[in-house]
Structures are given as C-alpha cells and as structure tokens.
C-alpha cells in the first residue's frame, strides 16, 4: 500500500486571516493553507514601475540540436502553434509566448524561493524535465548531472549548459526511457494531457527504483477575499469557460487538486502534497508576497490571451473578437488590486519504491 504524507503549503505570513472562498483540496492528501494579510494602504491599480525585474542568464554553450523539419508551425488567428505530436497544445509558441514563459519561469522561482523542485532527491545523476518550455536552471543547479528536457515546441534558447539537451518529443505517447532517471520534473502541463493515469504510469516506469517525481500546477480558479464576485465577473466566467473548453478538448485544465492521488494510484510512495496561495497584485502586507503577487499579476496580464484563445475558438466556438474582448476584461480584473484576488498553486512529489521494498 503506498504511503502518503500531508504537508502544509503555508504562505510566509504566519498569522494571516482566512479569506472567504478558500478551496477545499479534493485529494486524499488534503493540506491546509492560509491566505495573506491585506496591506493597510490603498489598493491602487497596477503600475509596472512597482515590479523589480531580475537579470538575464548567460555564459552558456551552444549544444542544442534540432532539425529544420520539426521547426514547422501552424498559424491560427495570427499566432503560431506547434505542429508536432499527437495533441494540439493550447499555448502559442511565438515570440510573445516565449516572453510570457520567461516571466512565468521567474515567477515560479520566486514562488518557491529559489528552489526548482520540492522533492528531497539527493545528487540526481539523470534528470528528465517534461514540458520544459524555456527553463534550463535545473542543468545549471546540477552541473554533474545529465539533464534531458523534452517538449512539443522547439522554443528553447540556442545557448545551453553543456550537460543539458532538449529533444522534441510527445510525452503523451509511450516513452522509451525506462528505469533511467533519478528525478522527473513536470510543471504546468494542465490542459495538455488527455490521459493522466497513463502519463504518471510512464513517469513511474521511466524512473529508477527509488527515483522521485516532482509536479507543480496552477489552480484553475481565481478568487477574491471579498467573496462577492458575481457570476458574470471575468474571474467566474474564466473558470467556467476554461473548464468547459478543456473538457471539450479532452485535456482538462483542472489538474492541481488531483496530482497527489494520481501519483499514489500510479504506485508512488511517500507522496506529499503542498498548496501555496499567491496574491494577484501588491495587496499583501508581506514584502515577499507583494513581489510574488506583482509577478503573478504581470504573468497573467501578459498571458491570459495565450491561455484561452485557441481553446475558446476551437472548442467553445467563440469568435476571435469575443476572445479579444474577454481577454481585455480579464486583464482589467488582474490589474485591479482592490479585488484582493488570489490564486492557488499545487505541488506534489512522490518516490518510486526501491527494489528492496
């Protein structure tokens, strides 16, 4: 019988009051979490002058290898999407999307206070990064390790650490690397996996005995501490429409609350789930939460159109003009600090049983 452990995903504010509308985790590993305290100052509208942007990465060697035959894209409504693999991913892969992914990568780093994963793996020698996007930090953190990343779009930078390689591969198909990896890292795969039990089964088989899987996903829903959002508020419409669009496509966006149970079902042991509540904007009293909240605000402001456009048009029958209008309404909501909006993030990790257990 797989064992599981519950761990709290607390916000750093120790005595924050609970806001209305906090989600009840829907897995067996339910964890508690608190929401941030509201700053006493006025919650003025978003001003990008308040955000502190970090520096760029450098000093990398050119080791990327991708052939021109897989650089073909599909163009829809003025955006480009991958043309590789068995499924149509919701996210574009053009320059605007790459910029949003770099912002998102920095946001995740802040959210985890510089950690790249939460699994207690020690000195991993072989690491697989699934759905890599543009992230290469795990290779820099473990220069002694062999790091392989695969994704369905060749959007990675051409300059990479010498111990890192990217491959175009379809993680929804049967994998070939079995009993090979010490760590598998998977992040933000929501809306892109038609069969989650199969995906976690492939991860299980790809790990060495005793190896770890580490997963992280954003929640689907945005909430307000006031709990007064009407059914026609953009945040409410977002949750309803994204859930329907993902289900129509056969690849749900409602993933986070179910990770831990699915890991257990796949055979993983020592499963731990954590939840973190992230503010949207700078309304928290805590300086760290304010910084993370500003980056979340920027990430969403830059990305809401990318997240929903293809699914809403292809799977809900919306017109492009309708998506444009809704995207503008969502961005206005995201920039409204007076809403005291927040967003839950889900983390879970587990271990493949060693051979002697």
Predicted pLDDT of residue 58: 36
CA dihedral 231, 232, 235, 239 (to 10 degrees): 60
User: How many domains is the chain built from?
Assistant: 1
pLDDT digits (tens, 9 = 90+) for 25-75: 443 444 445 556 666 554 454 443 333 223 333 333 333 444 444 455 666
The answer to whether residue 329 is domain-embedded is yes
- The DSSP symbol for 160 reads B
Residues 6+ apart with CB under 8 A from 39: 282, 283, 284, 285, 290
Please tell me the distance from the alpha carbon of residue 218 to that of residue 104, in angstroms, as a whole number: 11
For residue 138, what is the domain's CATH number?
Answer: 3.40.50.150
At residue 32, the 3 state secondary structure works out as: coil
Give the bridge partners for 283, in sequence order.
none
Predicted pLDDT of residue 20: 40
Please tell me the distance from the alpha carbon of residue 354 to that of residue 342, in angstroms, as a whole number: 39
The answer to whether residue 172 is domain-embedded is yes
Show the low-confidence residues of the chain (pLDDT under 50).
1-32, 42-43, 45-70, 84-86, 134
Residues 6+ apart with CB under 8 A from 95: none
The answer to whether residue 132 is domain-embedded is yes
At residue 343, the 3 state secondary structure works out as: strand
The answer to whether residue 319 is domain-embedded is yes
The answer to whether residue 346 is domain-embedded is yes
The answer to whether residue 237 is domain-embedded is yes
> Residue 236 sits in which domain range?
4-12+20-47+74-351
The answer to whether residue 176 is domain-embedded is yes
User: Which residue is listed with tokens 């939840």?
Assistant: 275
pLDDT digits (tens, 9 = 90+) for 180-221: 999 999 999 999 899 999 999 999 999 999 999 999 999 999
The answer to whether residue 55 is domain-embedded is no
């Amino acid at each position: 019988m797989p064992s599981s452990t519950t761990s709290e995903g607390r916000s750093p504010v120790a005595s924050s009051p609970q806001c209305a509308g906090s989600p009840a985790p829907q897995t067996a590993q339910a964890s508690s979490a608190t929401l941030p305290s509201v700053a006493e100052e006025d919650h003025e509208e978003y001003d990008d002058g308040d955000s502190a942007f970090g520096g760029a990465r450098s000093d990398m060697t050119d080791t990327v290898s991708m052939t021109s035959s897989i650089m073909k894209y599909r163009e829809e409504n003025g955006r480009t999407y991958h043309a590789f693999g068995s499924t149509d991913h919701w996210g574009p892969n053009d320059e605007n999307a790459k910029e949003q992914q770099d912002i998102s990568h920095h946001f995740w780093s802040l959210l985890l206070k510089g950690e790249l994963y939460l699994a207690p793996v020690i000195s991993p020698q072989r690491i697989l990064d699934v759905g890599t996007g543009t992230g290469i930090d795990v290779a820099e953190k473990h220069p002694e390790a062999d790091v392989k990343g695969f994704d369905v779009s060749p959007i990675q930078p051409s300059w990479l650490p010498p111990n890192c390689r990217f491959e175009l591969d379809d993680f929804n198909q049967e994998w070939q690397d079995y009993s090979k990896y010490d760590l598998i890292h998977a992040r933000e795969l929501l809306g892109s996996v038609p069969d989650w039990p199969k995906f976690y089964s492939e991860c299980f088989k790809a790990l060495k005995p005793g190896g770890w899987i580490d997963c992280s996903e954003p929640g689907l829903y945005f909430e307000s501490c006031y709990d007064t959002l009407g059914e026609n508020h953009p945040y409410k419409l977002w949750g309803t429409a994204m859930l329907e669009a993902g289900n129509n496509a056969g690849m749900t966006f409602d993933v986070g609350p179910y990770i831990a149970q699915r890991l257990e079902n796949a055979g993983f042991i020592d499963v731990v789930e954590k939840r973190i509540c992230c503010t949207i904007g700078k309304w928290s009293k805590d300086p760290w939460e304010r910084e993370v909240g500003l980056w979340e605000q920027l990430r969403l402001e830059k990305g809401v159109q990318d997240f929903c456009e293809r699914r809403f048009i292809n799977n809900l029958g919306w017109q492009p003009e309708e998506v444009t209008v809704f995207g503008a309404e969502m961005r206005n909501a995201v920039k409204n600090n007076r809403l005291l909006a927040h967003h839950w993030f889900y983390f879970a990790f587990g271990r493949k049983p060693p051979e002697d257990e």
